[in-house]
Amino acid sequence: MTPMKIFSGTANRPLSEKICEYLGEPLGNMTVEKFPDGESFCRIEEDVRGKDVFIIQPTCRPVNDTLMELLVMIDCCRRASADRITAVIPYFGYARQDRKDEGRVPISAKLCANLLECAGANRVVALDLHSAQIQGFFDIPLDHLSASPVIDEYINTLGYSPEEVVVVSPDAGSIKRATKHVSAVGGSLAIIDKRRHSGSEVEQAHIIGGPIEGRVAFLFDDMISTGGSICGAAKVVKEMGAKKVYVAASHGVLCGPAIERLEAAPIDEVVLSDTIPLLPEHQKLKKIKRLSCASILGETIKRIHNHESISQMYKSLRFTTGQYF
């Protein structure tokens, strides 16, 4: 079988190291750096000719730099005659620009997909894309994963009975995600009516479903960016009598006023996966609980390499290896 090679960009090396630990494979030797003027550069320090190459890089902040770095790494491996190149993108930046919802705006998520294919990616692995339809922006195979198994597993360790739990979708776009969490952790379902006024300002008032009063509320979103959506939703459920409020998201984008908002919001715990590294200023928010999705990504890489089913993986494995830290 073609040997496997795993490389990491600079966006989230600790996650890449954990994935390699899961696989029992060393991280490939690649120099990834910047020229003095800010241009991305990389050089593979070992042979990749005929290898099955996986490049791990979330396109998180600084988004344009991490995206460009990923593109040059793919180009580099293609020109070095790798047999197959899989871009493993735990967080896919630009995903919210996935449609023309007004005139004269780009569909940047599609542009990113084009760039990745043009650079030479043969496959993509993504995790909790903002919208599942982004898969269709690619004409190469894309395995779309979810961090839900490690998040649900953690929630189940908290020991709440299904009768005390209400799972809350912070907007209409997250209903499908919320119903899946209801199947995994139990409880009833509630949906918040969210209206967005700008990139950082939202309005939330009405709730459909429930009940909320006296329940432990779990709010799930794909990402927490400025924190406007999730903090507003937490405030609504608290005002409606929730006795505890947990929020969980796969991607902790955490930009702008996010930390101040999360600190001030009536939230007991913020559960995030490790697709995006925390900055030093994020660490001061003591109510963050981080779970690793390295086992999900590692198992996926193994299965792609061995030509095994990914959907079967979710059916047959319990991801109890999501570390808490």
Q: What's the chain's length in residues?
A: 325
Q: Which of 28, 93, 227, 252 binds ligand R5P (CB under 6 A)?
A: 227
Please give the residues from 169 up to 208 whose contact with ligand R5P meets the rule CB under 6 A. Answer: 170-171, 173-174, 200, 202
Pairing of the two strands 40-44 and 30-34:
antiparallel
Please give the residues from 16 up to 75 whose contact with ligand R5P meets the rule CB under 6 A. Answer: none
Which residue number, 152 or 171, has a Cβ lying nearer to ligand R5P?
Answer: 171
- Tokens at 48, concatenated: 């990749």
CB of 83 to ligand R5P, least distance (A): 37
Q: Could you say whether residue 128 binds ligand R5P (CB under 6 A)?
A: no
Beta-bridge partner residues of 190: 168, 209
Q: In what order do the strands lie in the sheet with 269-273?
A: 202-209, 188-196, 165-169, 216-224, 244-252, 269-273, 288-291
Pairing of the two strands 52-56 and 84-89:
parallel
238 is catalytic: no
SS3 170: coil
Q: Which of 60, 71, 224, 236 binds ligand R5P (CB under 6 A)?
A: 224
Q: Could you say whether residue 245 binds ligand R5P (CB under 6 A)?
A: no
Q: Which stretch binds ligand R5P (CB under 6 A): 42-50, 112-120, 166-174, 296-304?
A: 166-174
Which residue number, 143 or 171, has a Cβ lying nearer to ligand R5P?
Answer: 171
Residues 6 or more apart whose CB falls under 8 angstroms from that of 206 comprise 192, 193
Alpha carbons 55 and 69: distance in angstroms, whole number: 11
CB of 93 to ligand R5P, least distance (A): 12
Q: Which of 8, 229, 292, 300 binds ligand R5P (CB under 6 A)?
A: 229
Q: What number of other Cβ atoms are within 10 A of residue 106's Cβ?
A: 10
Which residue number, 51 or 251, has a Cβ lying nearer to ligand R5P?
Answer: 251
Among 176, 179, 163, 168, residue whose Cα is nearest residue 240: 168
Count, residues near ligand R5P per rule CB under 6 A: 17
Alpha carbons 171 and 218: distance in angstroms, whole number: 13
Which residue number, 119 or 145, has a Cβ lying nearer to ligand R5P?
Answer: 145
- Which residue in 194, 238, 243, 286 is the catalytic one? 194
Which residue number, 240 or 255, has a Cβ lying nearer to ligand R5P?
Answer: 255
Alpha carbons 120 and 135: distance in angstroms, whole number: 17
Q: Which of 52, 152, 222, 299 binds ligand R5P (CB under 6 A)?
A: 222
Among 230, 220, 236, residue whose Cα is nearest residue 259: 230
Q: Which of 223, 236, 297, 313 binds ligand R5P (CB under 6 A)?
A: 223
- Tokens at 202, concatenated: 């939202």
Active site residues: 194
Query: Which residues in this chain contact ligand R5P in the complex, by CB under 6 A?
Result: 96, 170-171, 173-174, 200, 202, 221-230
